[in-house]
């Protein structure tokens, strides 16, 4: 009989380590599946791409005490109602362009990226666009020629011309509209939405 107490026994700690690691591995795998489900387009907080056919606005969710996006009546982007696959293709084009042009070099998207220029998560709802009726056109003008169409988003900085084609700019606008419909638990904080006419 050894006189080592159980808690000083190496074997006990080796087995405990194996159990804890295995348990955590299982928890991690389950959480990963759950996260993927939550962030997939078409889930509760991340709407399907065809949300770009609808009006999106902000309303304070009194239960959580933060502003949350609300999906309203039909308001198709550039006046054209798109099917789910068409909307997905357009948003995809915008997302791929944002990646290819490395907009994250200056901007953040959902908090990821650089802090030189405004976060783009809710850019679709930004006050800078003045009024909903002119927003799409102003965004298109701005993206295609930001130097002449700067609206001043409180940064006093200028965005360079990114050499976007009109199709790419339209894709980006669809991507930004879709992203603004994501329920981000109020991120970015203190965001001031565009004047919302009616509801
Ligand atoms: C070199 C830095 C830089 C890069 C790269 C850049 N931007 Fe910008 N962007 C800015 C700055 C600075 C502003 C703010 C301009 C102002 O206040 O007038 C801005 C503003 C914007 C806005 C308006 C923001 C708002 O709050 O409504 C949008 C939309 C935008 N950029 C999209 C893009 C996209 C899409 C790309 C990639 C194709 C891109 N930017 C790449 C610097 C950059």
- HSE at residue 85, side-chain half, CA atoms within 13 A, is 0
What size, in residues, is the chain?
A: 199
Atom of ligand 1 nearest to the CA of 128: 27
Element (H, E) at 15: helix 10-39
| Residue 3 banded pLDDT, cuts 50, 70, 90 | confident
Strand partners, 113: 108
| Tens-digit pLDDT profile for residues 4-16 | 899 999 999 999 9
Q: Whose CA is nearest to atom 25 of ligand 1?
A: 123
- Mean pLDDT, the chain, integer: 93
How close is the Cα of 6 to the center of ligand 1, in Å? Answer: 63
pLDDT tens-digit series, residues 42-64: 999 999 999 999 999 999 999 99
Question: Best mutation site among 95, 99, 107, 164 for ligand 1, i.e. most ligand atoms within 8 A of its Cβ?
Answer: 107
Nearest CA owner, ligand 1 atom 10: 159
**What are the distances in angstroms from CA 14 to CA 4, 19, 109, 129, 184?**
16, 9, 44, 61, 42
Ligand 1 atom with minimal separation from the 162 CA: 38
Above 80 in pLDDT, residue 151? no
**Confidence check: pLDDT of 199 > 70:** no
Candidate from 101, 118, 141 with most ligand 1 atoms within 8 A of CB, to mutate: 118
């Amino acid at each position: 009989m050894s006189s080592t107490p159980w808690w000083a026994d190496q074997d006990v700690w080796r087995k405990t380590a194996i159990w804890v690691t295995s348990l955590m591995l299982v928890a991690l795998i389950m959480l990963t599946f759950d996260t993927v489900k939550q962030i997939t387009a078409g889930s509760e907080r991340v709407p399907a791409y065809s949300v770009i056919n609808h009006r999106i606005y902000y309303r304070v969710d009194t239960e959580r005490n933060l502003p949350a996006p609300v999906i309203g009546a039909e308001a198709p982007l550039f006046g054209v109602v798109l099917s789910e696959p068409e909307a997905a293709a357009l948003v995809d084009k915008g997302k791929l362009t944002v990646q290819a042009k490395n907009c994250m070099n200056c901007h953040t998207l959902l908090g990821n990226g650089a802090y030189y220029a405004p976060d783009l998560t809710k850019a679709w709802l930004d006050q800078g666009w003045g009024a909903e009726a002119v927003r799409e056109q102003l965004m298109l003008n701005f993206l295609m020629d930001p130097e002449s169409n700067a609206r001043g988003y409180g940064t006093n900085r200028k965005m360079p011309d990114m050499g976007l084609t009109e199709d790419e700019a339209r894709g980006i606008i669809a991507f930004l509209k879709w992203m603004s419909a994501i329920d981000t638990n109020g991120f970015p904080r203190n965001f001031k939405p565009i004047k919302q006419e009616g509801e």
